[in-house]
């Protein structure tokens, strides 16, 4: 017999179900749970009887919303009632201690739900504007509890459903730590890439809440690296390209601090290739960092472990350092650091010379001098040191401008030496003049006796 076919002298099954649903608000909590279990067991999600499932879910969520909107001291003393029997005792200390339990009492009652019914219920919760933080707590409680008795296949299905549901929530109400936990579970279960991409985008959008321990995810099996650097790069991309809004300066500052610690932590990994490390160091825009000291020290540590790389690879890595953003101490350390390619010292020297204002020719000084006498003192040594750097890149056209600056500096040194020598001669003449005057004064006769 078809459910919607008329029957002589009696209502058809569909009409009976609709009549039954009209009385749903009078059901006790236990009766409502029993009805949902029967709907789940008979798979009544499609067809005419899906109306019954929808009505049961609406009633369930409506009661939870009513409980959540009650005063903080209100609690459901027993769910087995036609409604919610709420009690309030503001003087009871025990009542305040159990406030969290009162809010989450229904968590265990809904553990019977399979992923398909769970998704339907949570979507209805969202539509009825139930607190998203409470929903997320329930979902993580559900996942931890169900995992204890689930097979590997069931766990995969559950995690995929959980990720889809979490994506519907306001991420500000979802714990970052819990999201990382779901990510690691999805990796261990080898969940499909599309689901992992969703959870990664959620984590990336609030990367400023992450910790170093969150990012130190072991590398996938089959790779030699210690940590999953590619994952961190994807999270950074999601952070910078978040769809809800651009990250605030405070959020960017937190992520910069986090990444500075991360690149230092992974630097000693002997299997971490220069290309990946460069990608990590340069993942954030230059404007995000006020100082490059942390980058310099991290690269210095990386070069200590990876000493066998070619000079070209080292040069690419060192070019990530913006010398104008180094502190005086870090800058001085760089100029004397033998682990860095000598060619990387040229922009460093140029930056330093521009800071002190001696790389550009003085308007009062004539154009380039040709040769500086080898017998000059410390000034000549300093000049020779910079010239030594310059000699290593004679063949590069982009260094011609630097060469002119260095020649100008040589001329400046010569002019200063000439001026100094001239002043010394003048001082000598003055001293001789004073000495002569003093001797003449002593030979004059006394005016007073």
- What digits encode the pLDDT tens for the residues 8-62? 544 566 666 666 667 787 889 999 999 899 888 877 666 666 778 888 899 999 9
Burial class (CB in 10 A: 0-12, 13-18, 19+), 316: middle
Give 240's pLDDT tier (boundaries 50, 70, 90): very high
Residue 405 CA to residue 354 CA, distance in Å, equals 10
| Burial call 23-60: b when 16+ CB within 10 Å, e when fewer | ebeebebeebbebbeebbeeebeeeebeebbebbbbbb
**Crossing angle for the helix pair 328-335 and 345-356, to the nearest 10 degrees:** 140
Per-residue confidence (pLDDT) for residue 318, from 0 to 100:
87
According to DSSP, the β-strands at 75-76 and 86-87 are antiparallel
Burial 251-286 (b: 16+ CB within 10 A, else e): bbebbbebbbebbbbbbebeebebebbbebbebbee
Write the CA distances from 194 to 118, 163, 228, integer angstroms: 21, 10, 18
Mean pLDDT of the chain: 77
Q: Decide if pLDDT at 448 tops 50.
A: no
Neighbours of 242 (CB within 10 A): 18
Q: Which helix (H) or strand (E) holds 87?
A: strand 86-87
DSSP 172: G
What 391-399 contacts at long range (C-beta under 8 Å, 24+ apart), as own/partner pairs, is 392/342, 392/343, 392/346, 393/343, 393/346, 399/346
Q: Which pair of structure tokens corresponds to residue 321?
A: 């350092």
**Range name among 3-12, 13-22, 175-184 with the lowest pLDDT average:** 3-12
Model confidence over 426-442: pLDDT tens digits? 777 777 766 655 555 44
| Per-residue pLDDT tens over the stretch 364-414 | 333 333 333 443 344 344 334 433 344 444 434 445 555 565 666 666 666
At 298 the pLDDT is: 96
Q: Is the pTM of this model over 0.95?
A: no
Tell me how far apart the alpha carbons of residues 267 and 206 are, in angstroms, rounded to a whole number.
Answer: 25
pLDDT in tens, 90-141: 444 454 445 556 788 999 999 999 999 999 999 999 999 999 999 999 999 9
Q: State residue 188's pLDDT score.
A: 93
Domain limits of the chain?
1-88, 239-347, 356-427
Percent of the chain having pLDDT more than 90? Answer: 46
**Rounded Cα distance, 91 and 86, in Å:** 16
Tens-digit pLDDT profile for residues 248-270: 999 999 999 999 999 999 999 99
Write the DSSP string, 262-274. Answer: HHHHHTT-TT--H
Q: How far apart are CA 366 and CA 448, in angstroms?
A: 58
């Amino acid at each position: 017999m078809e459910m919607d076919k008329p029957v002589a002298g009696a209502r058809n099954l569909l009409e009976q179900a609709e009549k039954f649903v009209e009385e749903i608000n009078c059901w006790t909590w236990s009766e409502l749970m029993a009805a949902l279990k029967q709907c789940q067991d008979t798979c009544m999600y499609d067809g005419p009887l899906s109306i019954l499932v929808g009505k049961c879910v609406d009633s369930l969520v409506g009661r939870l919303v009513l409980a959540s909107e009650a005063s903080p001291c209100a609690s459901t003393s027993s769910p087995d009632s036609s409604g919610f029997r709420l009690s309030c005792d503001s003087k009871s200390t025990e009542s305040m201690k159990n406030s969290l339990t009162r809010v989450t009492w229904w968590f265990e009652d809904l553990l019977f739900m399979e992923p398909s019914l769970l998704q339907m219920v949570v979507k209805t919760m969202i539509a009825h504007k139930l607190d998203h933080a409470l929903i997320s707590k329930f979902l993580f409680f559900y996942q931890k509890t169900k995992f204890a008795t689930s097979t590997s296949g069931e766990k995969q299905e559950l995690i995929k459903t959980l990720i889809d549901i979490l994506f519907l929530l306001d991420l500000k109400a979802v714990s970052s730590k819990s999201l990382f936990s779901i990510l690691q579970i999805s990796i261990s279960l080898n969940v499909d890439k599309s689901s992992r991409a969703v959870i990664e985008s959620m984590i990336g959008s609030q990367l400023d809440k992450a910790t170093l321990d969150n990012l130190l995810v072991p590398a996938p099996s089959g790779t030699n690296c210690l940590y999953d650097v590619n994952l961190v790069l994807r999270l950074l991309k999601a952070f910078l390209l978040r769809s809800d809004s651009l990250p605030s300066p405070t959020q960017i500052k937190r992520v910069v601090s986090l990444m500075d610690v991360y690149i230092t932590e992974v630097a000693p990994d002997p299997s971490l290739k220069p290309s990946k490390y460069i990608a990590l160091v340069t993942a954030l825009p230059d404007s995000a960092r006020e100082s490059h000291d942390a980058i310099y020290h991290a690269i210095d540590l990386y070069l200590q472990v990876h000493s066998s790389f070619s000079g070209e690879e080292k040069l690419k890595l060192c070019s990530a350092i913006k010398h104008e953003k180094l502190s005086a101490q870090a800058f001085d350390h760089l100029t004397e650091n033998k682990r860095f390619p000598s060619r990387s010292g040229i922009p460093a020297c140029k930056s330093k010379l521009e800071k002190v204002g001696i790389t550009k020719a003085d308007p009062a000084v004539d154009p380039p001098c040709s040769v500086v006498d080898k017998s000059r003192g410390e000034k000549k040594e300093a000049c020779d040191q910079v010239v030594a750097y310059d000699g290593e890149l004679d063949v590069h056209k982009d260094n011609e401008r630097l060469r002119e600056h260095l020649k100008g500096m040589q001329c400046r040194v010569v002019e200063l030496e000439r001026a100094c020598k001239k002043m010394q001669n003048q001082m000598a003449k003055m001293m001789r003049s004073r000495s002569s005057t003093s001797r003449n004064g002593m030979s004059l006769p006394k005016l007073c006796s």
